[in-house]
Amino acid sequence: MRRDKVIEELMEEYGTKVLHLAYSYVRNRQTAEDLAQEIFLKCFQKYETFEGEAQLQTWLYRVASNHCKDYLKSWHHRKVLVTGYISSKLGGQEAGPEKQLIQNAENQELVDAMFKLPLKYREIIFLYFYQECSLKEVAAICNLNINTVKSRLTRAKELLKAILQERGVDYGRTAEETEIRSEG
């Protein structure tokens, strides 16, 4: 299959998921949209490097995750972050499009709590619960050992529970609902 056809199919099937993944890193709708476009462009340019060892979806998420991490380390991001913080303290813009994605979430408190987690836990939670990746896929995407993924997932759930309890929220999940899915 031709490279442009594969990338087109990836964009149609995973465009929204890649956008949400990017948003989970940057917490800004417009920036997430820009990053999603850059991610698909990078996939188009680097498609020949896909060796078929992993599923195409896993490769795409790995590219997306690495691209978002690179963006967070960049000078541009740090400058935009500081500028945004200063303008918000000086009475800057009201809630804009970046807030719409969060407001559309089924459970606002859970989403807010998730964004309070450190990135290494947030990405595991996002990939596992929101993108419904298996533990094996999460390990491949994050380039981690599967046992590290399991321990980070457990720790992330503990942290989320503590954050929600601190806010007086009883999320109401039973142990069966939060059990770790099979590694398949």
Exposure string of 125-156, with b = 16+ CB inside 10 Å and e = fewer, is bbbbbebebbbebbbbbbebeeeebbebbeeb
Q: 90: pLDDT confidence band, cut at 50, 70 and 90?
A: very low
pLDDT tens digits, 1-50: 577 787 888 899 999 999 999 999 888 888 899 999 999 989 888 888 88
pLDDT, mean of residues 46-58:
80
Does residue 171 or residue 90 have the better pLDDT?
171
Structure tokens at 13: 């099937």
> Which pLDDT value is given to residue 96?
53
Domains of the chain: 1-104 (1.10.1740.10), 107-184 (1.10.10.10)
SS3 category, 105: coil
**71: amino acid identity, one letter:** Y
Question: Taking the model in full, what pTM does it have?
Answer: 0.57
- How far, in Å, CA of 68 to CA of 79, rounded? 16
- Are 184 and 129 in contact by the 8 Å Cβ rule? The answer is no
> Which pLDDT value is given to residue 46?
85
Query: Does the pLDDT value for residue 166 go beyond 80?
Result: yes
Report which of 96, 85, 78, 120 is spatially closest to residue 33, judged by C-alpha positions: 96
pLDDT tens digits, 91-113: 444 455 544 444 443 356 777 78
Residue positions counted in the chain: 184
